[in-house]
Structure 1
Amino acid sequence: MQEVTSAHELRKQLAAFIGPAARAARSRLGLTQAEVARHLGIAHTVYSRLERGKMLPSVPTLHRLCAVLDASPNELMGHTRATPPDTDSPARRHLFCRVRQLDETRVRAMLALLSLGTFHE
């Protein structure tokens, strides 16, 4: 006879997948826990517990977490990433993450600043 897993056990297992996956995605972007927590609108200590697999995020928080970490819900829940891994440098990924958090006015200002520079490749 197959043992039935309790809802509590399933939540613990899911938290154990999401925490390390969030940590890996955050590290890939070069972000700190405090930066991610601030973007999520939660306390740093709460985010730390989430990364350690000690708590399960709510659905809205999971949705925001995916946006901040540029990760799919499947990836954070222990499934493989649907798209190939980034080949960009950690610094470039960090920059992209920070730019995604800016409002339209600040993005346009940043583009204007960049267009003033001379770039040699």
Structure 2
Amino acid sequence: MDEELQRSLGEVARAARERLGLTQAQVAQKVGLVPGVYGRIERGDMMPSVPSLRRISIVLGISSDALMGVSPSQVAATVDEAPPAENLSPELRRILHQLRTWTPKRLKVLSKVLTVLASSFED
């Protein structure tokens, strides 16, 4: 799995770099990496550190999700956003759909009810 991710990340990085008309050396310099290290990343021989991945993403103008092959349908865009519906059971999707229309006061009451229910199931 890790080798496949490294290879995929390298392919996407190479395509993004070529789209911008940059050389590996130019990207490496902008990212703050030795050109040989950046070349290893593009060839799929090396996984960048998280800070390097962030800098690569910014320099190449592509999201880190795209570099890592994560599609928008697999994750939420922000921590405040609900997870994608495809990861949820049909029952939970129906409940969430209904709850999105509730007022904060109703949600607070439901939260208290759920807390009581959850504690009764722990026995």
Q: TM-score range by the shorter chain?
A: 0.5 to 0.7
1:40 Cα deviation after fit? 1.0
Match of 1:40 in 2: 31
Match of 2:50 in 1: 59
Matched residue SS, 1:24? helix
Mapped partners of 2:11, 2:63: distance in 1? 14
Structure 1 outlier segments of 4+, above 4 Å:
none
Residue 20 of structure 1 pairs with residue 4 of structure 2 = no
Give TM-score scaled by structure 2 length: 0.55
Give TM-score scaled by structure 1 length: 0.56
5+ residue gaps, structure 1: 1-9, 82-121
Task: Summarize deviations over 1:33-81 as a string: whole Å, max 9, x none.
Answer: 0000001111101010000000000000000000000000111112458
Alignment of 1:1-121 (within 5 A): 10-79=1-70
Larger Rg: 2
5+ residue gaps, structure 2: 73-123
Amino acid at match of 2:27: V
Report how many aligned residue pairs link the two structures.
73
Aligned residues: percent identity? Answer: 50
Mapped partners of 1:63, 1:14: distance in 2? 16
Mapped partners of 1:65, 1:19: distance in 2? 11
Two-structure CA RMSD over aligned residues (Å): 1.7
Matched residue SS, 1:57? coil
